[in-house]
Amino acid sequence: MKYKILKKDPMFQNDKDIFQLGKRDGNTKRNFLFLSKWIGKHLECKPSDFTKIVTELSKKINTDFLRNTMCIGFAETATGIGMAIADQLMLPYISTTREIYPEEHITFTEDHSHAKDHFIYDVDKLGEKDCFILIDDEITTGNSLKNMIKILNQETLVTDYKVLSILNWMSKEKKDSFIKQMNEMGIQISFYALAEGEILEEDPYIYCNDREDLHVSYPDPCVYYEKEKFFLSPITGRHYINHHIYYDFIHMHAYCIACEIDKLVGSEKRDILILGHGENIYFPYKVAAALSRIRPDEKITFKTTSRTPIYVDGKVIRSRKRFKDNHNITYHIYNIEEMEKHDAVIFLSEAENIEEIEVPKLTNNMIHFLLKKKGA
């Protein structure tokens, strides 16, 4: 694929600071994806880098003119930065999700994705707002964005939309056309990004890995750790978060978990990866950030597992392991050999009890830290 970066924030020294180009595995609709080191998803991230990108994105929004505003993050990749931006702007938040609950919801499609359907819950809370800030790591064509806005327009009276992303590939012509279509629907929309570019030529090849080569098994049982006082699972943003009530609790809960991890690993383990699961990115970030404050001279990073199948190209993505979680959903974890170099990998998972856990030992140095589930 050929592309050109047209504009970028001074925080990016070169194109690789913005993203590294990955390839989707077996995807006939879109064979590429943009892998970011800033968002704690497929690649490991320092909590300080995550904080930096969130701060720079938040500066794009002029809070002086916000009216009754809500942030909405796009699953799966942007649920972390979406929730962090809402926290920093002190705004309510909800994310789209692939998780299915027996509740009222609205849905829209992301046509190129491995998991096309997005769900949004707490629909009654959406109707109370005057402005939506839609947050994603990158905007490519704008088609998924359009699908989402059409559904929101049917369910709410909101006419003010702000789209916030790290990277936006929409050309001026496409962006102008998009804004015109929205204006015809009675919607005012603005785009804000830290980098803008243009895709000049796409690679038509369909990349496929040999699935049999992606299985790695470890005979030793995983070490589990649980404690009764950590009964509440992290608040993920799949349901409505009112900042006045929940963010302080999230920060306190993450700090308590970090203190427990600090005691658990001991002084001999100085290089620690906090591994989250799926859409739950923000809470592992908060745990990693808290642990970094407790152990300021040590290396603390975080990332999460992913539903996205990415082609192992031997460069950006050097290895991949597939597994099913306790909901029988296939997830992936990437660059295992990099994870094995850490003194410990702390995998944060949610379940009602230990018997519910079916996630395998993903690395030899993994400790499975159970956060007992209560709510979403």
- 10-residue mean pLDDT profile of the chain (376 residues): values are 94 94 91 95 97 97 89 95 96 94 89 73 91 96 93 94 98 95 96 96 87 49 56 74 83 90 90 94 96 97 95 93 81 93 90 64 84 58
Structure tokens at 198: 């243009």
Please answer whether residues 9 and 194 qualify as being in contact, where contact means their C-beta atoms are separated by less than 8 angstroms.
yes
Which residues have a Cβ under 8 Å from the Cβ of 152 and sit 6 or more positions away?
106, 126, 132, 158
Q: Is residue 246 part of a domain?
A: yes
pLDDT of res. 322 = 86
pLDDT of res. 225 = 63
pLDDT of res. 118 = 92
pLDDT of res. 323 = 83
pLDDT of res. 310 = 95
- Cα gap 152→155, rounded to integer Å: 5
137 and 249 housed in the same domain: no
Helix (H, G, I), strand (E, B) or coil at 278: coil
Centre a 10 Å sphere on the Cβ of residue 111 and count the other Cβ atoms it contains. Answer: 11
pLDDT of res. 350 = 75
Query: Domain containing 192: what range?
Result: 2-201
43 and 113 housed in the same domain: yes
**What is the residue-wise DSSP string for 327-360?**
TS-EEEEE-HHHHHTSSEEEEEEEESSGGG----
Q: Can you give the length of the chain in residues?
A: 376
Please answer whether residues 345 and 305 qualify as being in contact, where contact means their C-beta atoms are separated by less than 8 angstroms.
no
For 208-240, how does the pLDDT look when each residue is reduced to its tens digit (9 = 90+)?
A: 987 544 444 444 545 666 555 554 556 789 999
101 and 228 housed in the same domain: no
162 and 44 housed in the same domain: yes
For 83-92, how does the pLDDT look when each residue is reduced to its tens digit (9 = 90+)?
A: 999 999 999 9
pLDDT of res. 236 = 83
Q: Is residue 206 part of a domain?
A: no
* This prediction's pTM: 0.93
pLDDT of res. 218 = 47
Q: Is residue 103 part of a domain?
A: yes
222 and 194 housed in the same domain: no
Residue type, 107: T
Number of domains in the chain: 2
Which residues have a Cβ under 8 Å from the Cβ of 375 and sit 6 or more positions away?
232, 233, 235, 239
For 3, counting Cβ atoms within 10 Å of its Cβ (0-12 exposed, 13-18 middle, 19+ buried), the class is middle
Looking up residue 91, the CATH number of its domain turns out to be 3.40.50.2020
pLDDT of res. 244 = 72
Q: Is residue 253 part of a domain?
A: yes
12 and 113 housed in the same domain: yes
Which residues have a Cβ under 8 Å from the Cβ of 106 and sit 6 or more positions away?
119, 120, 123, 126, 151, 152, 154, 155
- What is the dihedral sign for C-alpha 51, 52, 53, 57? positive
**Percent share of the chain, pLDDT over 70:** 88
The helix (H) or strand (E) run that includes residue 108 is: strand 105-109
